[in-house]
């Protein structure tokens, strides 16, 4: 029975007001920034073999606070998580032609960090419920050239980190956690970021914690931390004066974090649980409500893990709902709520991988790999990831404050409204196509 005309067809939307912007910056962050400005010291880094090589002030405070919370020996602050991933992969000695296994269903930097070291990304397929790479798929992709694994804790849910660590240890590989989207998630009693050999967190403006642009690397290895610091701050001009003999991958860039960013990042990190709690509460509400709607499956959270919901990601069964996925997302969007069909294009579908052209026009770093002719980024490479992206995934970010439970109830109302008006919607679509 049609209860109300769909907004997509000219009716009144369930939500009439625009969605509010997500802003976690408050008076404490402003105070911290003003203290930095009043000091006149906006960066304390110097590229050379002196104490200032490590930075000072707010950067060191941020690093100490971060590593102590996670019980890790080292933290290295950088200007973005992308930079952090580059530092981490470089620190583990990835060289031209080396293979590093990662996810195809993630932001591009999880793979470009490998290319930046001259390595070759190898894409493992993902779990159909958690959307993270699986130990089985990783093991199937290990060759004589494999150097390590970059596992992404995507959307806020941990990968099977114990299983991945077992595979890594069995084959003598490093395991880096790309933990940009899952800060403070939990896996079998351990925090994400503490299970791999190193982990990278993001403070990009879109993330749970943000300082505009920023990132941080944590690890327990003195060598890896030093290598990351070398990459961060023009290490090639400091290495000799610091008495370091291992100069492999010490050519650095400027990945330094400024004092203002560090001041904001520290405040944001100190209220991480406060930032996560409302997301989790709203997500849990949606999950309970969606259990009663056939054809839409809420996020799966294994019993041994917790989810911190960077995004709220549902699986959609077009045959059960009876509405094409893209049309369904469009109709819900018209009712006033953010929703999109799919997440991002699978990484290996980008032209760089399809044409295997990266640095110069001769095919480096792919040509440096002894298996280059066998590495083909073809359709069907990761069938689960392809199916999810092309047919099943629905993504929304409406679990961001200042929205609350009443807004989640309206979102559920919008979904039910679209499904109830299915016949009218399909008829409209048919006429539009005709």
* Of 30, 55, 66, 38, residue with least CA distance to 263: 30
Give CA–CA dist 223/187, Å, rounded. 26
The answer, yes or no, to whether residue 432 has pLDDT greater than 80, is no
Q: pLDDT tens digits, residue range 225-254?
A: 999 999 999 999 999 999 999 999 999 999
Asked if 113 and 150 touch (Cβ cutoff 8 Å), the reply is: yes
Q: pLDDT tens digits, residue range 108-137?
A: 999 999 999 999 999 999 999 999 999 999
The answer, yes or no, to whether residue 277 has pLDDT greater than 90, is yes
Q: pLDDT tens digits, residue range 86-95?
A: 999 999 999 9
Provide the pLDDT confidence category of residue 434 given band limits of 50, 70 and 90. very low
Provide the pLDDT confidence category of residue 429 given band limits of 50, 70 and 90. confident
Q: Please, what are the domains in the chain?
A: 7-20+273-343+387-433 (3.90.1150.10), 27-271 (3.40.640.10)
Give CA–CA dist 2/422, Å, rounded. 9
The answer, yes or no, to whether residue 2 has pLDDT greater than 60, is no
Give CA–CA dist 103/80, Å, rounded. 20
Give CA–CA dist 353/224, Å, rounded. 29
What are the structure tokens assigned to 214, written together? 């920023």
For 320, residues 6+ apart whose C-beta sits below 8 A from its C-beta are 294, 295
User: Looking only at Cα atoms, what is the longest distance across the chain?
Assistant: 78
Q: How far is CA 386 from the centre of its chain?
A: 18
Q: Rounded to the nearest 10 degrees, what angle do helices 405-420 and 422-433 cross at?
A: 60
What does each C-alpha distance from 244 to 69, 77, 126, 171 come to in angstroms? 30, 21, 40, 29
Give CA–CA dist 88/91, Å, rounded. 5
Share of the chain above pLDDT 70, in %: 98
Give CA–CA dist 418/314, Å, rounded. 16
Burial class (CB in 10 A: 0-12, 13-18, 19+), 269: buried
Give CA–CA dist 186/204, Å, rounded. 21
Question: How many CA atoms lie within 13 Å of 47's alpha carbon, on the beta-carbon side?
Answer: 15
State the chain's mean pLDDT as an integer: 96
Give CA–CA dist 258/151, Å, rounded. 28
The answer, yes or no, to whether residue 79 has pLDDT greater than 50, is yes
* Of 192, 180, 209, 188, residue with least CA distance to 70: 192
Share of the chain above pLDDT 90, in %: 97
What are the structure tokens assigned to 403, written together? 């929205």
Q: Give the global pTM.
A: 0.96
Asked if 340 and 94 touch (Cβ cutoff 8 Å), the reply is: no
């Amino acid at each position: 029975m049609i209860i109300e005309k769909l907004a997509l067809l000219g009716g009144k939307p369930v939500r009439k007001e625009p969605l509010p912007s997500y802003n976690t910056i408050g008076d404490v962050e402003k105070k911290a920034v003003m203290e930095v400005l009043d000091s006149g010291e906006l960066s304390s880094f110097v590229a050379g073999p002196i104490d200032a090589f490590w930075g000072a002030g707010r950067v060191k405070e941020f690093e100490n606070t971060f590593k102590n919370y996670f019980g890790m020996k080292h933290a290295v602050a950088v200007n973005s998580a992308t930079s952090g991933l580059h530092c981490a992969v470089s620190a583990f000695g990835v060289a031209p032609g080396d293979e590093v296994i990662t996810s195809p269903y993630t932001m591009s930097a999880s793979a470009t960090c490998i290319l930046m070291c001259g390595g070759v990304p190898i894409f493992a397929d993902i779990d159909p419920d958690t959307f993270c790479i699986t130990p089985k798929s990783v093991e199937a992709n290990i060759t004589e050239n494999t150097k390590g694994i970059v596992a992404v804790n995507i959307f806020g849910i941990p990968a099977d980190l114990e299983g991945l660590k077992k595979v890594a240890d069995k084959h003598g590989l490093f395991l880096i956690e790309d933990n940009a989207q899952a800060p403070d998630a939990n896996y079998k009693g351990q925090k994400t970021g503490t299970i791999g050999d190193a982990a990278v967190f993001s403070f990009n403006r879109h993330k749970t914690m943000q300082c505009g642009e920023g990132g941080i690397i944590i690890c327990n290895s003195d060598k890896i931390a030093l290598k990351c610091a070398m990459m961060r701050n023009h290490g090639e001009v400091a290495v000799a004066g610091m008495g370091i003999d291992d100069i492999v991958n010490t050519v650095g860039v400027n990945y330094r974090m400024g004092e203002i960013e560090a001041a904001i990042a520290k405040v944001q990190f100190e209220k991480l649980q406060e930032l996560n709690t409302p997301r989790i509460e709203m997500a849990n509400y949606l999950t309970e409500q969606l259990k009663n709607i056939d054809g839409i499956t809420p996020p799966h959270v294994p019993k041994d893990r917790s989810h911190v919901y960077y995004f709220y990601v549902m699986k959609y069964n077009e045959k059960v709902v009876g509405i094409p996925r893209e049309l369904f997302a469009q109709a819900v969007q018209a009712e006033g709520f953010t929703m999109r069909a799919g997440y991002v294009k699978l990484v290996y579908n980008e032209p760089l991988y399809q044409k295997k052209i990266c640095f110069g026009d001769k095919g480096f770093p792919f040509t440096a790999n002894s298996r280059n002719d066998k590495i083909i980024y073809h359709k069907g490479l990761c069938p689960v990831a392809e199916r999810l992206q092309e047919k099943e995934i629905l993504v929304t970010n409406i679990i961001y404050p200042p929205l609350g439970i009443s807004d989640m109830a309206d979102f559920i109302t919008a979904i039910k409204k679209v499904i109830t008006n299915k016949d009218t919607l399909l008829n409209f679509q048919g006429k539009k196509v005709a």
